[in-house]
Amino acid sequence: MSLTMFQVDAFTTRVFAGNPAAVLIIDDWLDDQAMLAIAQENNLAETAFAKPTGDGFGLRWFTPVHEVEFCGHATLATAHVLFAHYGATGDLSFDTRVGRLNVRRNDRCYALDLPVFPPDRLGASDPDLALLLTQPLVATFRNFENYFAVLPDANTLRTLAPDLAKIESLFPFGLCVTSPGDGPDFLSRYFAPGAGIPEDPVTGSTHATLVPYWADRLGKTSLSAHQASRRGGDLACSLTGDRVTLEGNCVTFMKAEVYLPT
Tell me the DSSP string of 203-233: -STTHHHHHHHHHHHHT-SEEEEEE-SSS-E
Give me the half-sphere count of Cα atoms (radius 13 Å) on the Cβ side of residue 206.
28
Pair (23, 75) in one structural domain: yes
pTM score of the predicted model = 0.94
What is the tally of structural domains in the chain? 2
Summarize pLDDT for 190-245 with one digit per residue, the tens: 999 999 999 999 999 999 999 999 999 999 999 999 999 999 989 999 999 999 99
Of the residues 41, 46, 67, 145, which is catalytic? 46
What sign does the dihedral 154-158-162-164 (CA atoms) show? positive
Summarize pLDDT for 128-162 with one digit per residue, the tens: 999 999 989 999 999 999 999 999 999 999 999 99
Pair (45, 141) in one structural domain: no
Q: Is residue 124, in this structure, part of any structural domain at all?
A: no
Q: What percentage of the chain reaches a pLDDT higher than 90?
A: 95
Pair (173, 72) in one structural domain: no
Residue 85's Cα: distance from chain center in Å? 22
Pair (238, 254) in one structural domain: no
What 3-state class would DSSP assign to 159? helix
Summarize pLDDT for 52-67 with one digit per residue, the tens: 998 899 999 999 999 9
User: What pLDDT does residue 54 have?
Assistant: 86
Pair (84, 136) in one structural domain: no
User: What pLDDT does residue 135 have?
Assistant: 87
Pair (95, 158) in one structural domain: no
Report the alpha-carbon distance of residue 77 to residue 2 in Å, rounded. Answer: 21
What 3-state class would DSSP assign to 61? strand
Q: Which residues pair with 160 in a beta bridge?
A: none
Q: What is the DSSP secondary-structure string of 70-115?
A: --SHHHHHHHHHHHHHS---S-EEEEETTEEEEEEE-SS-EEEEEE
User: What pLDDT does residue 206 have?
Assistant: 98
* CATH code (residue 56): 3.10.310.10
Pair (6, 85) in one structural domain: yes
Pair (107, 134) in one structural domain: no
- Residue 177 makes CB contacts below 8 A (sequence gap 6+) with 133, 148, 149, 150, 151, 157, 160, 162, 188, 189, 190, 191
Q: Is residue 217, in this structure, part of any structural domain at all?
A: yes
46 among known catalytic residues: yes
Peptide bond into 172 cis (omega under 30): yes
Residue 109's pLDDT band (cuts 50, 70, 90) = very high
Report the alpha-carbon distance of residue 118 to residue 124 in Å, rounded. Answer: 19
The kind and range of the H/E element at 150 are strand 146-150
Q: Is residue 222, in this structure, part of any structural domain at all?
A: yes
DSSP state of 124: T
Pair (85, 183) in one structural domain: no
User: What pLDDT does residue 16 have?
Assistant: 94
Residue 12's pLDDT band (cuts 50, 70, 90) = very high
Pair (98, 73) in one structural domain: yes
User: What pLDDT does residue 262 have?
Assistant: 79
Question: Which whole number is the average pLDDT over 182-190?
Answer: 98
pLDDT beyond 90 at 26: yes
Residue 179 structural domain: 129-245
Pair (97, 136) in one structural domain: no
